[in-house]
Amino acid sequence: MVAAGRDRFDDAMDIAGWRFECKLSGRDTCGNYCIYDTTRTIKGGPPLHIHRDQDEWFYVRRGEFLFQISKETFHLKPGDTLFGPRGVAHAFAALTKESALIVTFQPAGAIEDLFAAACTLSKSRKLSLDDWREIAAPRGVEIVGPPIQID
């Protein structure tokens, strides 16, 4: 049981205005999958990236998001879901300051470690594309472009 607003390990992470609460860890599922509830207080999102060995599923709880999966774009609102298959470049951006997104990774891979490394580094500076590349590459994620640009 993980209560609302809590993290599985009582250690929620903040990465540049994005709060990550682990709801189900890969440690709970023998590495089969993990689930994060993320809340965002700023617009924007991560750089365009590829998970080599993980599928990703998104569920919008609050706010609006713009997603890019390969060359297609999708505008998601509360209740909408989207699947990002492994090996396909994707990115997303919160279009509203107050937004929330549930993200599932299957298998869990090293995504929890990636988020922890990003959280640690983002405490000292805004993450650049080079920072993201350095953090992501050893954890099975390739950064292939900048974040989605929004107004």
pLDDT per residue as tens digits for the range 4-57: 889 999 989 999 889 999 999 999 999 999 999 999 999 999 999 999 999 999
pLDDT of res. 16:
81
pTM, two decimal places: 0.93
- Which of 16-20, 75-79, 97-101, 136-140 shows the lowest mean pLDDT across its residues? 16-20
CATH of the domain at 100: 2.60.120.10
Residue 7 lies in a domain: no
Residue 2 lies in a domain: no
pLDDT of res. 62:
97
Residue 4 lies in a domain: no
pLDDT digits over 90-112, tens only?
999 999 989 999 999 999 999 99
Residue 6 lies in a domain: no
At residue 60 the predicted structure's pLDDT band, cuts being 50, 70 and 90, is very high
Residue 8 lies in a domain: no
What are the b/e assignments for 6-33, b being 16+ CB within 10 Å?
ebbeeebbebbebbbbbbbbbeeeeeeb
State how many domains the chain has.
Answer: 1
Residue 98 lies in a domain: yes
Q: Which domain holds residue 17?
A: 13-146
* pLDDT above 80: residue 151: no
